[in-house]
């Protein structure tokens, strides 16, 4: 039986809406549409994905490499 995917709380920088989302373990999520205000989130310069820019946990590829998420 496989483990469930890791999750993180992604917070929209525009409206502050927070969503718990499953993170892909083998790729970075480059775009995400906020569930509340429909803003299309993109990574900040220097971050690989929206999880590294706007969540409480860096994405699995960065976590495995020993990196850290940007401060919110």
Tell me how far apart the alpha carbons of residues 9 and 64 are, in angstroms, rounded to a whole number. Answer: 18
The phi and psi torsions of 40 (rounded to 5 degrees) equal -85, 110
Distance from the first to the final alpha carbon of the chain: 35
pLDDT at 70: 45
> CA 53, 59, 61, 66 torsion: positive or negative?
positive
Tell me how far apart the alpha carbons of residues 4 and 68 are, in angstroms, rounded to a whole number. Answer: 22
> In the chain, which stretches have pLDDT less than 50?
69-72
pTM of the predicted model as reported, rounded to 2 decimal places: 0.78
pLDDT at 4: 78
């Amino acid at each position: 039986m496989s483990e469930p995917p890791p999750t993180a709380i992604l917070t929209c920088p525009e409206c502050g809406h927070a969503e718990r989302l499953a993170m892909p373990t083998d790729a970075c999520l480059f775009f995400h549409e906020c569930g509340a205000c429909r803003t299309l989130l993109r990574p900040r310069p220097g971050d690989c994905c929206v999880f590294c820019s706007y969540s409480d946990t860096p994405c699995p590829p960065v976590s495995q490499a020993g990196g850290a998420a940007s401060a919110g």
